[in-house]
Amino acid sequence: MKILVAVKQVASRDSALKPAADGRWIDESDLTYEINEPDAYALESGLQLKEQHGGEVVVVAAGPARVSSSIREALAKGADRAIHIEQDGLDAWDSLSLARLLAAAARSESPDVVLTGLQSDDAGRGETGVMMAELLGMAHATIAMKIDVEGGVLKVKRELEGGWFQDLNLPMPALLAVQSGINKLRYATLMGIKKARTKEVKVMTAADLGVEAAPLAILERLALPVKKKQGEMIEGTPKEQAARLIEKLRFEARAI
């Protein structure tokens, strides 16, 4: 079984973020980077499927040269090989343009299962995975909480709202967007780190994949939220004040 896992590199969670001088993305001069956490759970799911059913895990990641550090981390954890689509400026690309890049790389591998994180920690759109599935013509499911393979069929447990779950049987090939917390993440061992140095990393460009390196939409302006401090006096009887306060907490502050 061939399992392809899409991995994105994002700024570390403890990074201090500020807009860049041109205002189109964040200032990357002092940032450290890591594997997007939902993608880390997708990678772990792929590694567990390989351990249970055999095959190989192929990691695909798109981004500038610095993405190679996250690729090597994935290889150190147990992925067999990787594809690096080297392209600058992807952070400001729209989801569909990025999905086209990743889908082109996936198509060349003909995987049985494609795994992605549910969403990215930076943009948080949750769109790329399902768009990849549509471009690849694959069955897909999101918010996957449990994945099994039985008789060439993917048995998937999905999380729904209100504490409900849904069980699905999907024909392979299929794409799953994995929910964070689906499993316990492993650490890269010293032996794994050593082996990662010799594993294949195929560097490709959009031109190699036959995809135009031009996004359909570009982020034009990014700004930090404006901090405001204001107070409001609620008039009326104590009963009226309480009712008005509850209304504001529920519909304006959305705290209850």
Nearest CA-CA partner of 5 in 97, 66, 64, 81: 81
Residue owning tokens 């190679």: 68
User: Which pLDDT score is estimated for 190?
Assistant: 94
Residue 47: pLDDT above 80?
yes
The pTM assigned to this predicted structure is 0.83
Specify burial of residue 133 (Cβ count, 10 A radius: 0-12, 13-18, 19+): buried
Per DSSP, what are the bridge partners of residue 84? 61, 203
At residue 197, the pLDDT reads 93
Report whether 67 contacts 6 (CB < 8 A).
no
Q: What contacts 21, CB < 8 A, 6 or more positions away? A: 27
Tokens 């502050």 appear where? 253
Instruction: Enter the DSSP assignment of 162.
Output: G
146-190 pLDDT tens trace: 999 998 899 999 988 888 999 999 999 999 999 999 899 999 999
Looking at every residue in the chain, the average pLDDT score rounds to: 90
pLDDT tens profile 217-240: 877 888 877 777 778 888 999 999
Query: Is the pLDDT at 204 greater than 90, yes or no?
Result: yes
Task: Specify whether the CB–CB gap between 75 and 43 falls below 8 A.
Answer: no
Residue 192 has pLDDT above 80, yes or no: yes
Once rounded to an integer, what is the mean pLDDT over residues 55-59?
96
Mean pLDDT of 34-47: 95
In the prediction, which pLDDT does 213 show?
80
* Phi, psi of 145, deg, nearest 5: -110, -20
184 or 252, greater pLDDT: 184
Which superfamily is assigned to 2-204 in CATH?
HUPs (3.40.50.620)
pLDDT of amino acid 55 = 94
Distance CA 93, CA 217 (A): 6
pLDDT, tens only, 120-135: 888 788 899 999 999 9
- The predicted structure's pLDDT at residue 122: 82
C-alpha span between 19 and 5 (Å, rounded): 30
Which residues lie closer than 8 Å to 174 by C-beta, 6 or more apart?
113, 114, 133, 138, 139, 140, 141, 154
Query: Residue 47: what residue type?
Result: L
Separation CA 19–CA 23 (nearest Å) = 5
Q: Encode pLDDT of 68-91 as tens digits.
A: 999 999 999 999 999 999 998 887
* The pairing of beta strand 56-63 with beta strand 153-159: unpaired
Burial class (CB in 10 A: 0-12, 13-18, 19+), 152: exposed
Between 229 and 11, the higher pLDDT residue: 11
- pLDDT at residue 131 in the model: 95
Place of tokens 């930076």: 122
β-pair type (113-117, 2-6): parallel
Residue spans of the domains in the chain: they are: 2-204
